[in-house]
Amino acid sequence: MDIRIGIIGAGENTRLKHIPLLQKIEGVQIVAISNRSMASAQKVCDQFNIANAYDDWQKIIHDPTIDAVLIGTWPNMHKLLTCEALKAGKHVLCEARMARDLAEAREMLDESHLRPSQIAQIVPAPFTLKYDTEIIKLIGNNFFGDILAVNGRFNFNTFLDADAPMHWRENRDISGNNIMLMGILYESMSRWLGPAKSVIASGKIFSSLKDYNGKARPVDIPEHLNILAQVDNGVEAHLQFSSVTALEDCPQSIWIFGSNGTAHLDLKNDQLLLGKKGDTELQLHNFTPPADAIWRVEEEFINAIRGTEKINLTDFDTAFQYMKFTEAVTLSLQEDKRIHLSNLGTLL
């Protein structure tokens, strides 16, 4: 089964990952690129030998010869493009984060449920793919005993630079309620422990204004964020995300503390360390990850279209759950109180 793909938004991840990996799959042809300008679309087409360059995304979505659409834009376009592509009969692979907020994510999810024969996938959080199966196995084998607490940090390990231009992730019009790497860490953690029940969040903004395309814009997305989350099984998780915690020794790491065992996933040094009750220090845990514990988003998407595999990472229903978490964090910041995720359905 040959599959023809059109791409809307050719950012870094699309150029480094999606395009070359899709082009390696037999029977897959990328036939068109749409970007913010014709010049940038043509540049990508020239680089990867793709036939058609557009500056109008509708030419891709409404091309009857295109089977699937890859959406590589910023989150502000995800809801519009996803819903339009699904309505046009296309399969959709959408870059993370799913949307700007829960309401947009709900529209995407509902549209996908109306068309169950069409594949709808969100690019998954990638940083823990190597370790997910092993951590789930450790939990299942009762290595930890009762899991009591989780500490996670996904920090940028930088000093505050209030004079730096505003990154698109700091622009709420573009990024919405997504804050730094919050969604990535939560998506990974929920694979092991299940969804959060409630959150209470505290955030700090240090920069009042930043330049965005020549205009001063107020900064209204936290530059330092702490979250206390109660997970479904009673575990309390303390999660931190920051762009001001420079010179940390382990800026991206996750600790799992149990009654009988501790694990430290050190993403900076790409290692998992374990210790049991009675040990005096952690030891490097050597294991062989499953063969599929790698980045294989594009292969999974194509296999799902061909009916040989189901979407595991990440279907729309799973992505909607991390958008509930994102929404709850935003509401907690706004209302200065604990937010229960079970109550969010009443807001839509």
Task: Kindly indicate the confidence band of residue 1, based on its pLDDT and cuts at 50, 70 and 90.
Answer: confident
Mean pLDDT, residues 33-40: 96
Among 135, 141, 123, which residue's Cα sits nearest to residue 21? 123
How much is the pLDDT for 346?
A: 55
| DSSP letter, residue 221 | S
Per DSSP bridges, beta strands 261-266 and 271-276 are antiparallel
Burial annotation 18-34 (CB, 10 A radius, 16+ → b, else e) = bbebbeeeeebebbbbb
The verdict on domain 129-287 having CATH code 3.90.550.10 is no
Instruction: Name the residue ranges covered by the structural domains of the chain.
Output: 3-125+295-315, 129-287
Q: Is 129-287 in the same CATH topology as 3-125+295-315?
A: no
Asked whether residue 206 carries a pLDDT value surpassing 70, the answer given is yes
Q: What is the mean pLDDT of the chain?
A: 96
Task: Kindly indicate the confidence band of residue 347, based on its pLDDT and cuts at 50, 70 and 90.
Answer: low
Task: Kindly indicate the confidence band of residue 144, based on its pLDDT and cuts at 50, 70 and 90.
Answer: very high
Among 36, 62, 60, which residue's Cα sits nearest to residue 50? 60
Task: Kindly indicate the confidence band of residue 232, based on its pLDDT and cuts at 50, 70 and 90.
Answer: confident
Task: Kindly indicate the confidence band of residue 233, based on its pLDDT and cuts at 50, 70 and 90.
Answer: confident
Which pLDDT tens digit goes with each residue over 287-329? 999 999 999 999 999 999 999 999 999 999 999 999 999 999 9
In degrees and rounded to multiples of 5, residue 240 shows phi and psi of -130, 140
Q: 132 in helix, strand or coil? A: helix
Asked whether residue 345 carries a pLDDT value surpassing 90, the answer given is no
Task: Kindly indicate the confidence band of residue 112, based on its pLDDT and cuts at 50, 70 and 90.
Answer: very high
How much is the pLDDT for 147?
A: 97
Contact 89, 114 (CB under 8 A): no
Task: Kindly indicate the confidence band of residue 286, based on its pLDDT and cuts at 50, 70 and 90.
Answer: very high
Please confirm whether the linkage preceding 97 is cis (ω < 30° from 0).
yes
Q: 36 in helix, strand or coil? A: coil
> Measured at the alpha carbon of residue 158, what is the angle toward residues 171 and 129, in degrees to the nearest 5?
80
Asked whether residue 348 carries a pLDDT value surpassing 60, the answer given is no
Just give the CATH number of 3-125+295-315.
3.40.50.720
- pTM across the whole model: 0.95
Mean pLDDT, residues 150-155: 96
